[in-house]
Amino acid sequence: SNPLKIPPIKCFNQGHLQLISGLPCSKQGKILERLGFCSEIDFIRYTQDGKKLQEDPKLFIKDLQFEDVPVRVYQPRAPSDGLRRGVIYLHGGGWMFGSINSYDRVCRYIARESESVVVSVGYRLAPEHKYPSQFRDCLTASIHFMKTAEDYGVDSACVIISGDSVGGNLAAAVCQALVSRSNFPKPLAQILIYPGLQAIDFYLPSYQQNCAVPLLYREHVISCCLKYLEKDVSVLENVMEGSHVPLDMKLKYGRWVNPDNIPEEFKIRSYKPHLPTSYSDEVYEVAKPALETTFSPLLAEDSIVSQLPLSYILTCEYDVLRDDGLLYKKRLEDSGIPVTWYHVKDGFHGVISLFDFGILSFHSGKKAMDNIVNFLKSL
């Protein structure tokens, strides 16, 4: 079988495949791309995607289209006395990776354990599909589900928008868009699992402390942002230093994106205040879409944030994105929005995807998943 349609190359044999098999997936992809077999992105997607699991005795599972957006709907088989809650799940993967299949275990678990109807959204991926196509797909699928919720046994007033990593970014942006719509019901809640929410400051304490902690490095975050926006990654170092942010924006957004808003307990480990850097018009022109609220929801105006529903935010200690979650938590609370916060003290970015992964499973991932389920049950 040759699912990636790799052309046969005589000089590359089984021994070479065994040689690269011990390398990280991204390095394998780079080697195969240089040899002309396939693109690095296609290789990583193939290795991560997996297959749809077998039928679940407790769930009805259907692959559907919501306004041309692929979705997978998980409905509990057990009879219900009334309409259920609905959970829209937006997967992570740096806007370029991840899929309905790769999050099948996560969504099945949430649906089974919380007895909710879960909709997993297969939004289009970058770089083939330009920003903000991903946001638009997620918003389109969410609106469609909220309008047709009763067709799936769901109360339209009990819909939760959720996601992890960039899925948490998209969930936050979708929630902001939904509460901005007049004559449309707002979501019951939002669940943001180690979300990335801003592209202003890449020297927050968590970015400094965890810059080289797997599974997500600081450089990888900025590289994904630039590739998502179809921008030249040669400005990566300039963006990291903050040269893309004009002074007026630094002053405006400094109220919200500020290390002073992060509890002192999170600054103990290897943190030093970052000295301001000079602004560059050229770098700003490249990176300015990253300062839009559909990309950086933390930068939304107070008039939008104050309308958001009750929120659940999960952060991990060993994650560059930890402080994005902490800063959004403070903004929401300052606006009077109730926030349930769960901090995984021994957790790292991506840990919930490893809650049920055989010998690679992490107990902290299972605890995090159960905490999410318990929050859903409390609604």
Residues annotated as catalytic are 165, 319, 349
Nearest C-alpha neighbor of 121 from the set 140, 138, 145, 108: 138
Nearest C-alpha neighbor of 322 from the set 308, 338, 343, 305: 343
Task: Give the integer Cα–Cα distance in Å for 300 and 304.
Answer: 6
DSSP 190-213: EEEES----SS-S-SHHHHHTTT-
> In this structure, what token pair is assigned to residue 134?
């991903």
Other beta carbons less than 10 A from residue 67's beta carbon? 10
> In this structure, what token pair is assigned to residue 372?
């999410």
Burial class for 285, CB neighbours closer than 10 Å (0-12, 13-18, 19+): exposed
Nearest C-alpha neighbor of 293 from the set 200, 182, 373, 173: 173
> In this structure, what token pair is assigned to residue 343?
């901090």
What pairs with residue 117 in β-bridges?
86
Nearest C-alpha neighbor of 327 from the set 172, 170, 176, 178: 172
Adjacency order of strands within the sheet including 59-66:
59-66, 69-76, 117-121, 84-90, 154-164, 189-193, 310-318, 339-348
